[in-house]
Structure 1
Amino acid sequence: MYQYTEFDKAFVRARAAQFRDQLERWQAGSLGDDELRPLRLQNGWYIQRFAPMARISVPYGELSSTQLRALGRVAREYDRPDPDLLRDAQERQLALGPVPVPGTDRQVQSILKSGYGHFTTRTNVQFNWIPITRAADVMELLAEVGMHGIQTSGNAIRNITTEALAGIAEDEIADPRPFAEIIRQWAALHPEFAFLPRKFKIALNGAKEDRAALGWYDISLQAVRNEAGELGFQVQVGGGMGRTPVIGTVVRAFVPWQHVLSYLEACIRVYNQYGRRDNVWKARIKILVKSEGQAYIDKVEEEFRQILEIDGAPHTITQAELDRVAAQFVAPALERPQRDAASQRVHEIIRADAEADPLYDRWLQRNVLPHRDPQRRAVVLSFKRLGQNPGDCTADQFDAIADLAERFSAGEARVTHEQNLLLPWVHQDDLPELWAAARKLGLARPNIGLITDMIACPGGDFCSLANARSLPIAEAITERFQDLDEEHDIGEIDLNFSGCINSCGHHHAGHIGILGVDKDGQEWYQVTLGGSNGSDLSGPAGPGKIVGPSFAKEEVPGVIEALIDTYRQLRQSAGNGKAETFIATLRRVGHEPFKAAANAARFVEREVA
């Protein structure tokens, strides 16, 4: 993992102290709400439906055990709303009306609980109940472990992301993390790009398979090698979800790694100059690239030429700088402590118990991933279970995962795009003990990539932008598919859920996507089919297609069940004893049978309720 320099640490601490001064002036009345707003947003503090929301940056998803414990402390000591605020939230929540599906009362309590963090699709961590008056305390605590909320909001370059298997994947062309870190340092408080037309997101992928959803980013970098074997990046620009889902355009097939910062600067500089600022819905770079096409690419190429030839390429990455940063990402030593006779006997008992349990075999299939080091494995801890919102992590779980990371994964864990956590350095011999420990924590459900491993934004239960609630519907769907035999029979499927068109739940990229919409003040839901994040199993990245008119909230679980039943009726064998996946079946037979099934289920749930 990258270790902050003394300069980095001093800067983050100074920024926290500056924020404390700003808050104190606001509390004293010398700063108004409108004056504080840009200052708090620059540090990742939003005002949401019920309370402030703090967004904490986690570059390329990596967390140390020390940072995990700090996040646990924030959850335990600071994620505590004022009792009056919580009571108001409960009243407003109940006023929205019940969701007539099993588990509603439990779900309402889960929504309104405190003392937890939330993993996002861009590998950040969010807290929903920290009073703004405690914000400076939280930022100072996090600064001590190298964490902050700088540029997690505002029209600037946001958190830099990569795939969760960066540096350990069998199909890796190059480790993208050193480049992600160099880009992070370059983008942090970049004076020219502090006030872009709109927020800006960058992702990197170092493997042959796209596991970083590159097509959906403002700029994405795919590691490639040219005919001479030299390393560089394919650059894709103008992807994005929201009201106008667009897959990015490849603007350059190969940029030498030494010049990747210069090319990024050219792309963003042209956007900064020509991107729209008169309409927030048309301000993203995807609109500029779509409208200008080759003209945008030509301007970028000319800007790139000037940076290299006239400006002297000031941001060229030297081999020495790459080596300095890459040295922070060397794989940890594989140390195996010698077991005495007693501990060896315990180990053998745990292994025997695990191997006798059929759930362990399923866990190995779903949650344990191959590693470039044949002696190691990457293990995904599932944060998708009944009674816990997707991606939520309690204070006690933060602490327990820190213990697991230290015991099994060289003190490191990674937030995944799917809102889970991954342990990247697990020795294969430790898998039975890790499984037993994770199972006690409720984090070993063998459902990774299956229907209950859904992505869901907080939706209308927290977000002031949302049109509808996500979490109660997600809970209802999870409850419908609790049978592990059935879930494994259904197989690989991406189910993504957004509470509004801003698409924080990436519904556009779901094989099944659910979008909350507002109809005359009532919650309704659109269903889309056939979206993809661009991974090999999902096929080329692209948005799903709406299957018909929106559905009432009580109809959605039944509609999803009808779609799954249709798939199981229509799927064919894929060979090797495996069935065709949902997305493969959908692409083979088309949308019509699924659309008909969804619409036939429209009123069934309401009548049953």
Structure 2
Amino acid sequence: MYQYDHYDQAIVDQRVAQFRDQTQRFLSGALSAEEYQPLRLQNGLYIQRHAPMLRIAVPYGMISSDQLRAVAEITRKYDRGYAHISTRQNIQINWPELERVPDILADLAKVQMHAIQTSGNCIRNITTDQFAGVIEGEQLDPRPYCEILRQWSTLHPEFAFLPRKFKIAISANATDRAAILAHDVGIELKRCDQGVVADIYVGGGLGRTPIIGSLLKANLPSEDLISYLEAVVRVYNQFGRRDNKYKARIKILAKAMGVEAFGAKVDAQWALKKQSELQITESELARVSSYFSAPDYQSFDTQLPAELEARLNENRLFARWFEKNTLAHRQPGYRIVNIALKSAGIAPGDVTHMQLDALADLADRYSFGELRTTHQQNIVLADVPQRQLYELWQALQVHELAAPVIGTLHDMICCPGGDFCSLANAKSIPIAQAIQARFDDLDYVYDLGPIELNISGCMNACGHHHIGHVGILGVDKKGREFYQVALGGRQGRDASIGRILGPSFGAEDMPDVIAKILNVYVEARLDEETFLQTYDRIGIDPFKEAVYATSH
């Protein structure tokens, strides 16, 4: 993974000192709350319902074992002993004291971490496929491009105060796990006869006005990636609305102008920058790519080790975990391991300081000291030798990290909701926990097949409910919490926004509502149909009839 040079370290250290001074001036009354707000947001600090919340940057989801140990220590020293993985691969802590946040940032800087641009109206953390560089079928490793774009966008003087936040996602795989069509800008990297090129999608996003992104530029030479993106953001910065924050995202601008007209303005800006110093040179790409070279893999047989096969045959729990939580690796003899942060009764994405320390130790022992955070609020060990999988599984069980639920109903995405967030209309975590408790029979859950259930506490859609197979949105009705349900959403190449089922439901009704939806699917599916395949075939009406027949 990328390592800071002295310039990187100096920039981060200077930012810590700067923010310490700003915070001291705010606490002394020299800065007003209004003056302090953009300064704290640029450093990842929110004022939430009960306490500040600090969002720590995890660039494109890569984190070392030493960095994870530092996060664990920060949760012990400054917080309440746990952290939360966000849907944009960052790490959040929910209870820091405001006056101690500069100390937290100083401790992060010691391990090459920061919270710069994890909030505010700027270019946020750039995300990608959590399996980048190790998954079969990948055209190229997108992480070097992520890092180059991170360096370009961090503290960019022109883009520090955009009309609204700006999110970029990159994929280089036929299976899009980065949800590029649901971002302000989505980038698909691919190889062709001309070399590496990029398809640029613009105007995607969820929130109050969910829109699937549109193709803006096809087959852009990858060396022009920075100059073209700079033109895109410059057009948005110039023409994006600033009078209404709900209409300030680039998706509103692109839709109002039309993608063709928007693209014409981008091309005009791009012509000014295309032959500039912003081109990605071969030497710079090679330099950054060197940080993402393959680790020192051992040579293994392509077949499963006999001992592993025996363990799979004799231990049903281990076999379940192997099937659900591991994936084929492009390097023979290795597997990708997904670690679900979805234990029953625990908020999805939450992980304790003890578990963080344990994960760091396991990464050192089994996966070259590196880990990855995921869009699904989980953790990945990307390079585990197959012969050590049983040993790893046993260790994960000790730390309650071996739930074999990846890709199932239990692997739900959930924002912090009204328990923490001051913007939320309703609580999300209790709904997730109630659904987990209702469907505690894993054999039934496995029989359902892949189902993505996403929960958001408000229209900001931090839980990405719009693109869940089943999406749940918390709404406020005269001071009471209700929940709206949508079906048929999806991310990936065929991304679409879910359709709202009908009137909302009380919190106490939600487990029954989900049960009725699942019963329709189970009764209507043909052969090995997935939930989405059945939904696409029969439409929303049978689900609506079943849910509202006795609910209202």
Distance 1:266 1:571, change over 3 A: same
1:542 aligns with 2:507: no
AA aligned opposite 1:324 = R
1:428-467 equivalences in 2 (<5 Å):
428-467=386-425
Equivalence for 2:292: 329
Alignment correspondent of 1:533: 491
5 Å-filtered alignment, 1:93-104, equals none
Mapped to 2, the partners of 1:489 and 1:458 lie a distance apart of 29
| 1:491 equivalenced with 2:449 (yes/no) | yes
2:283 to 312, 320, 327: 320
The equivalent position to 1:597 in structure 2, one of 529, 546, 549, is 546
| Residue matched to 2:22 | 22
Structure 1 position 408, deviation (Å): 0.6
Q: Is the 8 A contact 1:562 1:601 kept in 2?
A: no
Residue 178 of structure 1, CA deviation: 0.2
Report if the CA contact (8 A) 1:555-1:601 is conserved. no
Q: How far apart in 1 are the matches of 2:282 and 2:338?
A: 34
Aligned 8 A contact 1:117 1:393 in 2: yes
Match of 1:427 in 2: 385
1:399 aligns with 2:361: no
- Paired residue for 1:41? 41
Between Structure 1 and Structure 2, how many residues are aligned? 547
Instruction: Give the fraction of aligned pairs with identical amino acids, expressed as a percent.
Output: 52
| Post-superposition offset of 1:392 | 0.3
The whole-number CA distance in structure 2 between the counterparts of 1:357 and 1:13 is: 50
| C-alpha distance after superposition, 1:436-465 (max 9, x if no partner) | 111111111111010010000000010000
1:122 to 59, 71, 88: 88
Match of 1:109?
none
The reply on whether 1:274 has 2:228 as its aligned counterpart is no
Q: Secondary structure at the match of 1:266?
A: helix
Contact kept in structure 1, 2:348 and 2:412, CA below 8 Å: yes
Q: Indicate the residue corresponding to 2:519 in structure 1.
A: 565
User: Tell me, what secondary structure is at the counterpart of 1:60?
Assistant: helix
Q: Separation in 1 of the partners of 2:436 and 2:276?
A: 53
Alignment check: 8 A CA contact 2:363 2:370 kept: yes
Partner of 1:98: none
Residues 103-157 of structure 1: per-residue CA shift (max 9 Å, x gap): xxxxxxxxxxx32110000000001011101111100000101111111111100
Contact 1:351 1:432 in 2 (8 A): no
CA distance in 2, matches of 1:28, 1:458: 31
Unaligned segments of structure 1, at least 5 residues = 80-113, 338-346, 574-578, 604-609
- Hey, what does 2:70 align to over in structure 1? 70
Cα 1:354–1:122, aligned 2, differ >3 Å: closer, same or farther? same
> Does the 8 Å CA contact 1:376/1:427 hold for their aligned counterparts?
yes
Aligned partner of 2:123 in structure 1 is 157
**Structure 1 residue 350, shift from structure 2 partner:** 9.2
Counterpart in the other structure of 1:510: 468
Match of 2:371 in 1: 413
Question: Shift of the alpha carbon at 1:474?
Answer: 0.5
Give 1:595's aligned amino acid: K
The offset of 1:220, in angstroms, is: 0.9
Query: Are positions 1:472 and 2:421 aligned together?
Result: no
Deviates more, 1:34-43 or 1:123-132: 34-43
Does the 8 A contact of 2:299 with 2:333 survive in 1? no
* Structure 1 Cα separation of the partners of residues 361 and 205 of structure 2: 37
Tell me the TM-score normalized by structure 1. Answer: 0.88
Where structure 2 has 5 or more consecutive residues not aligned to the other structure, the ranges are none
Matches within 5 A, 1:27-426: 27-79=27-79, 114-226=80-192, 228-293=193-258, 294-308=260-274, 312-335=275-298, 355-426=313-384
Deviations 1:319-349 (A, max 9, x none): 0000000000011102599xxxxxxxxx999
**Equivalent pair of 1:559/1:601 in contact (CA under 8 Å):** no
Matched residues in 1 for 2:282 and 2:174: separation? 24
DSSP 3-state at the match of 1:450: coil
| Structure 1 position 306, deviation (Å) | 2.5
How well do the aligned residues superpose, as a CA RMSD in angstroms? 1.6
Asked if the contact 2:308–2:387 (Cα under 8 Å) also holds between the matched residues in 1, the reply is no
**Cα distance in structure 2, aligned partners of 1:368 and 1:236:** 31
Deviant stretches of 4+, over 6 Å = 347-351
SS in 2 for 1:445: coil
How far residue 29 of structure 1 moved from its aligned partner, in angstroms, is: 2.6
